[in-house]
Amino acid sequence: MPTSPSSEGNQLGRTMQAEMLQQPTTLAHLLDRRDEVAEQVRRLAPVPLAGTVLVARGSSDHAATCGRYYLEMATRRPVASTSPSLATMYHSSTDFSGYLMVAVSQSGRTPEIVEVTERARRAGAKAIAVTNDAASPLALAADLVVDLSAGEERAVPATKTVTAQVTAFAMIAQALGDIGLTDSAARQLPGQVSEVLADQASAAAVAAWLAPHDRLVTVARGLLYGAAAETALKVEETTARITAAFSAADLRHGPIAMAAAGPPVLAFGHPGPASADLVDLVRELVARGADCRLAGPLEGSELRWPEEAPEVLAPVLAVVRGQQVALELARLLGRDPDAPEGLTKVTIT
C-alpha cells in the first residue's frame, strides 16, 4: 500500500531530481552545438544514402524510437532498429554498404552495442555514436561522436541523458533534412523544459492517481510513442510496478480488451497529425471502462507542457513529465528511485 507523503519521502530520489533539474542547461549547451554537429553529420552520411540503422538498449532505445521517426522524415529513406543478438549470438553477416548507423548508449560501455557498431563499420556502415562519454569504447568504435556532455549521471534511472539523446537525434535528423528544428524552437526548448520542471504539482497529482494501482498502461501515437515507452520504463525502474507501453494503433489490435480489467491508462498527445487519433482512442477506452488521464497540451489534460513547442520536440517535454511522475510515485510508495533494488547504472549485455 502507498505510504503518506512526508518530509522523509521527499528526501527519496534527491539525486534523480537534481539531475532532472540539470536538463535545461544540458539541452541548451547541446543545442548550441547544432551547427557543428550538422556539418559533421552531412560530411559523414553516405551519398546516396540507402537508409539508417539504429542500435540501442533500454532508455537509449526509447530515444532511438523518437529518432526513427525524425530520421525517416528527414531522409525519406527507411530507418530500422537492428537486433544486436543477430550479430552477437547468431553471427549473422549483414551488408551495411550505403547505410548510416546511429549507436546510442549513455555510458558507451554496453558490450553488444560496441560490438554491433564495430561489425557494421567493417560491413560498410558509417557510424555515429551518441554517448555521454566521448572516450568510451563506443565512441572509439564510431566514425563520429555526438558527445551529450551532460555530466556524470549518478542516479540509476537515466534522466538528463535521455532528453539529451532525443535532442541529439533531432539535431542529426535536421542535418539531413528539415524536420522543424528551427533556431527559434531550439532557443525556446530549454525554457520550456524549465517550465515543466517548475510544475511538480501536476505530476504529483497523477502519481497519487496511480498509487493505488499495481500496474499502468502508457499509450501514444507517432512522434510521442518513444516518450510513452520511456515513461513506462521509468515507472518500472523506480517503483517495480508492471507497466506496458503501446502505440495507439497497436493497442487497438487486441490489447484494447484489457480496458475493462481496470489498469489506468496514461495517454500522451500533442497538437499535430496524431492527436485526433489519440483522443478518439481515449474516448473508446473510457467507453470500455478504462480509467484514463491525458498528458500534453490537449483539452482535458491533467499533465500539460507548452503547446507552442513544435511537435518534433514534444517528446523531450513528454519524457520530462514521465520522469516527474515516476519520481513522485516512487516517493509515495516509499521507494528510493536513486538506487532501485537489483538495478545498476550500466547493464552488461
286 and 202 together in one domain = yes
Mean residue pLDDT of the chain comes to 93
pLDDT at 258: 77
Give the model confidence (pLDDT) of 157-199 as tens digits.
999 999 999 999 999 999 999 999 999 999 999 999 999 999 9
In the chain, the number of structural domains is 2
Range 320-341 average pLDDT: 94
25 pLDDT higher than 80: yes
Q: Residue 263 carries which side chain, given as an amino acid letter?
A: P
pLDDT at 2: 40
246 pLDDT higher than 70: yes
Q: Taking a C-beta distance cutoff of 8 angstroms, is the pair 186, 32 a contact? A: no
pTM of the full structure? 0.94
143 and 197 together in one domain = no
Range 7-29 average pLDDT: 90
Residue 132 lies in a domain: yes
Residue 17 lies in a domain: no
Q: Taking a C-beta distance cutoff of 8 angstroms, is the pair 245, 337 a contact? A: no
Binning pLDDT at 50, 70 and 90, where does residue 348 land?
A: low
Higher pLDDT, 249 or 109: 109
Give the model confidence (pLDDT) of 221-231 as tens digits.
999 999 999 99
Query: Strands 99-105, 265-268: parallel, antiparallel or unpaired by DSSP?
Result: unpaired
Binning pLDDT at 50, 70 and 90, where does residue 6 land?
A: very low
Residue 91 lies in a domain: yes
114 and 250 together in one domain = no
pLDDT at 141: 98
Residue 108 lies in a domain: yes
pLDDT at 251: 83
pLDDT at 321: 98
Binning pLDDT at 50, 70 and 90, where does residue 218 land?
A: very high
pLDDT at 9: 58
Binning pLDDT at 50, 70 and 90, where does residue 341 land?
A: confident
CA–CA dist 319, 67 (Å, integer): 14
Binning pLDDT at 50, 70 and 90, where does residue 339 land?
A: confident
96 pLDDT higher than 50: yes
Range 112-134 average pLDDT: 97
Residue 219 lies in a domain: yes
Asked which of 130, 149, 181 is the last residue of a domain, the reply is 181
60 pLDDT higher than 90: yes
Backbone torsions φ then ψ of 292, nearest 5 degrees = -115, 150
Asked which of 181, 200, 225 is the last residue of a domain, the reply is 181
Residue 257's CB: how many other CB atoms inside 10 A? 9
213 and 281 together in one domain = yes
Q: Taking a C-beta distance cutoff of 8 angstroms, is the pair 24, 190 a contact? A: yes
Lowest mean pLDDT among 27-36, 74-83, 323-332, 333-342: 333-342
Binning pLDDT at 50, 70 and 90, where does residue 343 land?
A: low
Residue 334's CB: how many other CB atoms inside 10 A? 14
Residue 128 lies in a domain: yes
Domain of residue 211, residue span? 189-332
Q: Taking a C-beta distance cutoff of 8 angstroms, is the pair 192, 305 a contact? A: yes
Give the angle 30-35-36 at the CA atoms, nearest 5°. 80
Residue 210 lies in a domain: yes
170 and 193 together in one domain = no
Residue 223's CB: how many other CB atoms inside 10 A? 25
pLDDT at 225: 97
203 and 175 together in one domain = no
Asked which of 153, 181, 209 is the last residue of a domain, the reply is 181
CATH number for the domain that contains residue 252: 3.40.50.10490
Residues belonging to the chain: 349
pLDDT at 345: 54
145 and 83 together in one domain = yes
